[in-house]
Amino acid sequence: MIARIDAERLDAADPLNPFRERFALPEGLVYLDGNSLGALPKGAVARVAAAVTREWGEGLVRSWTDAGWVDLPRRVGDRIARLVGARPGEVVCTDSTSVNVFKVLSAALALRPGRLTIVSEEGNFPTDLYVAEGLAELLARGHRLHLVAKGELLSALDTDTAVLLLTHVDYRTGERHDLPAVTRAAHEAGALVVWDLAHTAGAMPVELDAAGADFAVGCGYKYLCGGPGAPAFLYVAARHQEVFRQPLSGWFGHAAPFAFEPGYRPAPGISRALSGTPPILSMTALDAALDVILEADLSLVREKSEKLTSFFVEAVEQECGAAVRLVSPRDPVRRGSQVSFAYPDGYAVIQALVARGVVGDFRVPDVLRFGFAPLYVRFVDTWDAARALAEVLSSHAHERPEFRRRLAVT
Amino acid sequence: MIARIDAERLDAADPLNPFRERFALPEGLVYLDGNSLGALPKGAVARVAAAVTREWGEGLVRSWTDAGWVDLPRRVGDRIARLVGARPGEVVCTDSTSVNVFKVLSAALALRPGRLTIVSEEGNFPTDLYVAEGLAELLARGHRLHLVAKGELLSALDTDTAVLLLTHVDYRTGERHDLPAVTRAAHEAGALVVWDLAHTAGAMPVELDAAGADFAVGCGYKYLCGGPGAPAFLYVAARHQEVFRQPLSGWFGHAAPFAFEPGYRPAPGISRALSGTPPILSMTALDAALDVILEADLSLVREKSEKLTSFFVEAVEQECGAAVRLVSPRDPVRRGSQVSFAYPDGYAVIQALVARGVVGDFRVPDVLRFGFAPLYVRFVDTWDAARALAEVLSSHAHERPEFRRRLAVT
């Protein structure tokens, strides 16, 4: 049997515990939805305010150079590179994850001209699939999106597979792919891999270069805590950069954007992945968030993440019994920084929890999803969430009519 | 002969004069670059701060519904619609101008399947041309970008023209197309038109619906004052919305984004133009800016704009004589809210002006560009800028070595 005192002891021994103070979390709220929207780093408040009043208000157009706005996508990209095992010049911060999937997927298809299949997973995050569908339809050259179950991915790879498009950590179950092994298998089949690191970056180490990865994208507003709709990032392995072309060839990706030449000449390196003018205010918040994220040792972050999720699984199973069913892998090594349980009336349960100050998320059809951002989630939070869940279920609080409708955003 | 006193009298009689107080402009600065980056509306400071601390920090993921983030792209779009002569549901705020050009251009080409030519103007803003080039290359179906001089545009339209891609107001010369007449001519040739309203929206009225326009895009950070890299906007005429498809089919453009369906079903109406998660902080600044912009009567804005630019032309020609050559149309009706002069060493002249607190912009090869945002530029600013220019030229201040290099962003 575990109890709240065990959580308190784990918090007291947690080397990352001081990081929580760097985030502005509402008093009394148990926030287990940092995999949807990361908490606000306190330092971002002053940084965004300065970007508004000093850089924009006083510096005006001069801030493109004087405040370094023009290099912000590369600077932020280089900082994110440190979190995903990439070298400087392999990552850039730009656009949304969806738009970046379009860029790297079209680039990857162009590198495999004879092959027409994009293999992905049935449960992959929908926007990646939608964008692949949009691209295939636009190309109208017979590309098809082949969706298979997780266990059949590797056997689905064949000589027609151009690209394997996968999300490293499943947004619903939290199951984590073996990125190096899958990359290797895809390469052996002659395919390229596009990794979506939305639920990876900032939550655990990942070594893109060491794994021989090709392309990756990721989200700025989950574990990177860059704020709502923060710009996303995009990785292109150094070896592909000379030949990498992407069709959203806006002026920020031009070799000489301010020469106003009539023809497009892609910038050398990762800069050619840029398109239009970047949203500086949103990107500044992400840059400020990285000040905190980069201070933490990622191996400690991962270690705490495994402990947090394991403690939560144990607490929920002890307090709720068989009412809920674990859908995340039981082995912590095989999951990301989240834990999901199935419950038939899951939607209403999440609403009832939110009403009690425990914020998790619901995912169709029946998934209670709880994310554990190791920099600001405490072990007592996991205990309190497990207890709240047990209370909701035992009191049938979720059966009240007010818990029937809500929107959710991952 | 005109003098500063005339400018003072014009300011005193200017019904828009009180709007200047709504913007945070540095003391003593003459800012004539609002067509590159619009000034900071004072109201945006508190609005962005509230979005950071209250909506993000306290509301966290709940703000997608509670703070209305999820509808912000449509809400801001509907507000911009009022500035461009569109109905609610025809405009959405999203992504960058470059990315939006890609969306509407691919949608337009799909509506003209038998035609392979995109006609545009030699001097069109490069990013529009780069994106058209990127799209044509990606499609690999023989589309070609045909660039012609402004005077030959209409005669270049033929039965192979799918789309006419034009910027309403030329970013260098300020020359303004007759949007209704050009749209009509393109339609007579069986082509569709994509209008880039980057230098239009917020500076003058434009009536997209009345002109029978098809598609348009525009910039959030020039005359709309939405801040550096503010999200752009995109217009699709109601009659095209049922058939309009765009390939950047991310989850925010899905009919049921939170149902997480594996297949893409475009949302009804303009929402299908959305792609990924929108950058809320940057979009909030734009929303706050629109509070000010929408208070002004656009016909008064245009009237003042014509007077400001005419006064500036007169002042410069009087004070500088033949040293500079007007490249903008002399007839105010034919130009946007900017005035450009040619000068062989224009780059250094702009630097010398900036050093004196007069911010204009340089555009290759020899263009001194001055933008007049009617809501915060005064007639005395135009006079002072003309005098500063005359002083720089007569004292040869621009020949100093420190004025040799700088980046510029339009």
Q: What is the pLDDT of residues A248-271, one digit of tens each?
A: 999 999 999 989 998 999 999 999
Assess whether A396 and A266 both reside in one domain.
Answer: no
CA-to-CA distance for B137 and A395, rounded, in angstroms? 61
> Which tokens in the block code for residue B16?
């828009």
Catalytic site includes residue A125: yes
- CA-to-CA distance for B249 and B252, rounded, in angstroms? 8
Residue of B nearest to A28 (CA): B58
Cβ distance of A277 and B96 shorter than 8 Å: yes
* Cβ contacts of A102 on chain B, cutoff 8 Å: 247-248
Which of these three, A293, A328, A350, is where a domain ends? Answer: A293
Q: Which token pair is B401?
A: 């070595």
Flag if B24 and A276 touch (Cβ within 8 Å).
no
Annotated catalytic residue, options A125, A215, A311, A403: A125
How close A230 gets to chain B, by Cα (Å)?
A: 5
User: CA nearest A229 in B: which residue?
Assistant: B279
Nearest to A133 among B53, B125, B249 (CB): B249
Contacts of A13 (CB under 8 A, 6+ apart): none
Residue B247 resides in a domain? yes
| B355 and B220 share one domain | no
Q: Decide if A281 and B276 are in contact by the 8 Å CB cutoff.
A: no
Residue A408 has pLDDT above 60, yes or no: no
Q: Does B188 touch chain A (CB under 8 A)?
A: no
Euclidean distance between CA atoms A130 and A135, whole angstroms: 9
Per-residue model confidence as pLDDT tens digits over A331-355: 999 999 999 999 999 999 999 999 9
Q: Pick from A48, A55, A96: which is nearest to B275 by CB?
A: A96
A 101-130 residues with CB < 8 A to B: 102, 106, 122, 125-127, 129-130
Q: Report the CATH number at residue B144.
A: 3.40.640.10
Which chain A residues are within 8 Å of B98, Cβ to Cβ?
Answer: 248, 250-252, 275-277
- B267 with B393, same domain? no
Q: For A123-143, how does the pLDDT look when each residue is reduced to its tens digit (9 = 90+)? A: 999 999 999 999 999 999 999
Structural domain contains residue A55: no
Per the CB < 8 Å rule, is B228 touching A56? Answer: yes
Of the residues B22, B47, B103, B369, only one is catalytic, namely B369
Tens digit of each residue's pLDDT (9 = 90 or more) over A165-190: 999 999 999 999 999 999 999 999 99
Which stretches of chain B drop beneath a pLDDT of 50?
A: 407-410
Q: Which residue from A121, A189, A188, A141 is spatially nearest to A161, judged by alpha carbons?
A: A189
Tokens of A144: 């098809």
Chain B nearest-CA distance from A1, in A, is 33
Domain, as residue range, for A285: 68-293
Contacts of A258 in chain B (CB under 8 A): 407-409
Neighbours of B396 (CB within 10 A): 11
| Nearest CA-CA partner of B381 in B398, B408, B360, B352 | B360
Q: Which residues of chain B neighbour A228 with C-beta distances below 8 Å?
A: 51, 55-56, 63-64, 69, 277, 279-281
Chain A stretch 241-260, residues whose beta carbon is closer than 8 A to a beta carbon of chain B:
245-254, 258-260
Q: Is A131 on the interface with B (CB under 8 A)?
A: yes
A273's tokens: 């992945």
What is the DSSP code string of B48-81?
Answer: HHHIIIIIIIIIGGGHHHHT-GGGHHHHHHHHHH
Check if B103 is active-site. no
> Among partner residues A131, A147, A263, which is closest to B250 by beta-carbon distance?
A131
A222 counts as catalytic: yes
A299 contacts A15 by C-beta, under 8 angstroms: no
Helix (H, G, I), strand (E, B) or coil at A341: strand
| Active site annotation includes B150 | no
DSSP state of A395: H
B227 in Cβ contact with B95 (< 8 Å) = no
Q: Does the beta-carbon distance from A49 to B44 stay under 8 Å?
A: no
CATH code (residue A302): 3.90.1150.10
Look up B178 and say whether it is catalytic: no
Note whether B357 and B371 are same-domain residues: yes
Domain membership flag for residue B52: no
A292 vs B388: CA distance, rounded Å: 46
Do residue B395 and residue B309 come from a single domain?
Answer: yes
Q: Do B248 and A56 touch (CB under 8 A)?
A: no
Same domain, A179 and A229: yes
Contact B57 A40 (CB under 8 A): yes
Q: Could you tell me if B41 and B22 are in contact, meaning their C-beta atoms sit under 8 angstroms apart? A: yes
Q: Are residues A252 and A357 in the same domain?
A: no
Q: What is the DSSP letter of B256?
A: S
Does the reported pTM lie above 0.95? yes
Q: Residue A290 — pLDDT band, cuts 50, 70, 90?
A: very high
Q: How many CB atoms lie within 10 A of CB B7?
A: 22
Would you call B108 helix, strand, or coil by DSSP? helix
Q: State in Å, rounded, how far the first CA of chain A is from the last one.
A: 33
Q: Using 50, 70 and 90 to split pLDDT, how confident is the model at A403?
A: confident
pLDDT in tens, B367-404: 999 999 999 999 999 999 999 999 999 999 999 988 87
Q: Among A249, A271, A293, identify where a domain stops.
A: A293
Q: How far apart are CA A230 and CA B51, in angstroms?
A: 13
Which residues on chain B are in Cβ contact (under 8 Å) with A259? 364
Using the Cβ of B36 and the Cβ atoms of chain A, whether some distance falls under 8 Å is answered with yes
DSSP A213-266: --EEEE-SSSTT---TT---EEEE-GGGTTT---S---GGGBSSTTS--SS--B
Best B35, B56, B167 residue to mutate vs chain A (most A CBs within 10 Å): B56
Q: What is the pLDDT of residue A147?
A: 98
Q: Are residues B252 and B144 in the same domain?
A: yes
**B49 in any annotated domain:** no
Number of domains in chain A: 2
Which DSSP category does A54 fall into?
I
3-state class (DSSP) for residue A192: strand
pLDDT of the residue at A244? 93
Contact A281 B251 (CB under 8 A): no
In-domain check, residue A273:
yes
Amino acid found at A24: A
Does B45 contact A at CB distance below 8 Å? yes
Among A60, A247, A254, beta carbon nearest to B359: A60
CB pairs under 8 A between A and B: 302
**pLDDT single digits (tens) A188-223:** 999 999 999 999 999 999 999 999 999 999 999 999
Query: Is the peptide bond preceding residue B18 cis, with omega within 30 degrees of 0?
Result: no
| B183 and B152 housed in the same domain | yes
Q: Looking at chain A, which residue has its C-alpha nearest residue B141?
A: A139
Nearest Cα of chain B lies from the Cα of A102 at a distance, in angstroms, of 7
B183 touching A, CB under 8 A? no
- Identify from B72, B97, B171, B275 which residue to disrupt to test chain A contact, counting A C-beta atoms within 10 A and taking the largest count: B275
Domain end call among B263, B293, B323: B293
Q: Is A46 on the interface with B (CB under 8 A)?
A: no
* Residue A32 lies inside a defined structural domain of this protein: yes
Q: State how far the Cα of B70 lies from the Cα of B72, in Å rounded to an integer.
A: 6
Q: Does A66 touch chain B (CB under 8 A)?
A: no
Looking at the structure, do residues A85 and A227 belong to the same domain, yes or no? yes
pLDDT confidence band for A405 (50 / 70 / 90):
low
Helix (H) or strand (E) holding B118: strand B117-121
For chain B positions 132-171, those within 8 Å of chain A (CB to CB) are: 133-135, 137-141, 147
ipTM over 0.90: yes
In a domain, A247, yes or no: yes
- What torsion do the CA atoms of A47, B228, A259, A102 make, to the nearest 10 degrees? 90
Percentage of the residues of chain A whose pLDDT score is greater than 70 = 99
State the nearest Cα–Cα gap between B318 and chain A, in angstroms.
28
* Structure tokens given for B315: 């002042």
- Write out the H or E segment, with its range, that includes residue B139: helix B126-139
Enumerate the β-bridge partners of residue A363: A367
Q: Residues in chain B, how many?
A: 410
Residues in B touching A133 (Cβ below 8 Å): 249, 263-264
B272 & B319 share domain: no
Chain B contact present for A277, CB below 8 A: yes
d(CA B206, CA B199): 11
- Flag whether A45 is in a domain: no
Q: B369 with B323: CB under 8 angstroms?
A: no
Q: Which one is catalytic: A115, A369, A378, A387?
A: A369
**Is residue B164 located within the same domain as residue B193?**
yes
Please state, in angstroms and rounded to a whole number, the distance separating the CA atoms of residues B185 and A106.
35
- Tell me how many degrees the CA angle B254-B260-B262 measures, rounded to the nearest 5: 85
Whole-number Cα distances in Å, B306 to A335, A377, B11, B311, B394: 63, 58, 14, 8, 28
